């Protein structure tokens, strides 16, 4: 009796083996560069890298009259000398450190939303127009025309000692400008951490990623909170195509097996 060979030309090869060879063959053919590991192009996007000796929250240097102030490693601040951006250290409800006072007491939020899903430190920006100031980072090594996915966590909270409903969101610029979901904050309250995702298309090999807190009204300090900033190339459609290809091989194997029965 003639020997039965499967479609690979080898006797008795398992479906798993066939699928493995198929995947290997596709791999050898070469996947697009976009399939490379999803490396975060943003440095210190979780704000965990802080100046040596940091033990408390501080105002990110812009307003020279505040204390303590310091830089935020890998990030730059805008030019508004009245701007208030703070590094909230260790997830403690102390907005900008011991020098940022409300009636002589270190300022806090009425309701503290706690740490983001990214954990640890986060940035709080006063989104009232008078005090809003951007933070930014230059991103290089981009491919013109390539789409990039930006994701981050945002929340909102009102400074204790002020009242009245406020709004908060982040204006994000990366070649073009997009606004995050608007957060409506009830008086003396907060909006919990929520995830945001945006797609930008690179128009240059180096672009500046900028976050600017936007909010209303100008008189009742609305604070927008930011953490977990990630920028990477989105998963390409070729990944899904690869999955369909492997599934197709499995289906073909099953059909051939039925014919031999």
C-alpha 183/C-alpha 155 separation (Å) is: 8
Which tens digits make up the pLDDT trace of 198-249?
999 999 999 999 999 999 998 777 899 999 999 999 876 544 444 555 455 4
pLDDT classification of 197: cutoffs 50, 70, 90: very high
Give me the mean pLDDT over the 25-34 stretch: 40
**CATH number for domain 58-232, candidates 2.60.120, 1.10.287, 1.25.10, 2.60.40:** 2.60.120
Mean pLDDT, residues 181-209 taken together: 97
Give the pLDDT confidence of 60-94 residue by residue, as tens digits.
975 545 567 889 999 999 988 888 899 999 989 98
Which stretches of the chain are assigned E, i.e. beta strand? 58-60, 69-70, 76-77, 85-88, 101-102, 105-106, 122-126, 135-139, 147-158, 166-174, 176-179, 183-185, 190-201, 207-216, 222-232
Percent of the chain with pLDDT over 70: 74
Picking from 230, 161, 177, the residue whose alpha carbon sits closest to that of residue 169 is: 177
- Residue 102: how many other CB atoms lie within 10 Å: 14
Give the start-to-end residue ranges of the domains of the chain. 15-36+237-260, 58-232
What pLDDT, on a 0 to 100 scale, did the predictor assign at position 256?
Answer: 52
- Predicted pLDDT at 115: 95
Q: What is the pLDDT of residue 98?
A: 81
């Amino acid at each position: 009796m003639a020997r039965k060979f499967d479609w690979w030309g080898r006797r008795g090869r398992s479906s798993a083996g066939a699928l493995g060879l198929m995947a290997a063959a596709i791999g050898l053919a070469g996947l697009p560069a976009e399939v490379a590991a999803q490396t975060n192009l943003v440095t210190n996007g979780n704000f965990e890298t802080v100046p040596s000796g940091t033990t408390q929250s501080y105002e990110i240097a812009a307003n020279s009259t505040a204390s303590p102030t310091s830089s935020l490693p890998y990030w730059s601040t805008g030019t508004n000398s009245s701007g208030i951006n703070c590094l909230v250290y260790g997830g403690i409800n102390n907005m900008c450190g011991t020098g940022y006072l409300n009636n002589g007491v270190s300022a806090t939020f009425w309701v503290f939303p706690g740490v983001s899903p990214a954990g640890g430190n986060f940035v709080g920006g006063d989104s009232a127009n008078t005090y809003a100031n951007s933070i930014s980072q230059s991103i290089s090594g981009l491919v013109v025309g390539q789409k990039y996915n930006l994701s981050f966590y945002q929340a909102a909270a009102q400074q204790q000692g002020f009242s009245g409903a406020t709004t908060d969101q982040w204006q994000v610029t990366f070649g073009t400008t997009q606004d995050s979901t608007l957060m409506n904050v009830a008086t003396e309250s907060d909006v919990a951490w929520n995830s945001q995702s945006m797609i930008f298309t690179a128009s240059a090999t180096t672009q500046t990623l900028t976050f600017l807190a936007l909010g209303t009204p100008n008189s009742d300090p609305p604070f927008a909170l930011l953490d977990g900033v990630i920028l990477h190339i989105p998963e390409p459609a070729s990944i899904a195509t690869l999955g369909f290809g492997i599934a197709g091989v499995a289906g073909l194997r099953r059909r051939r097996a039925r014919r031999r029965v």
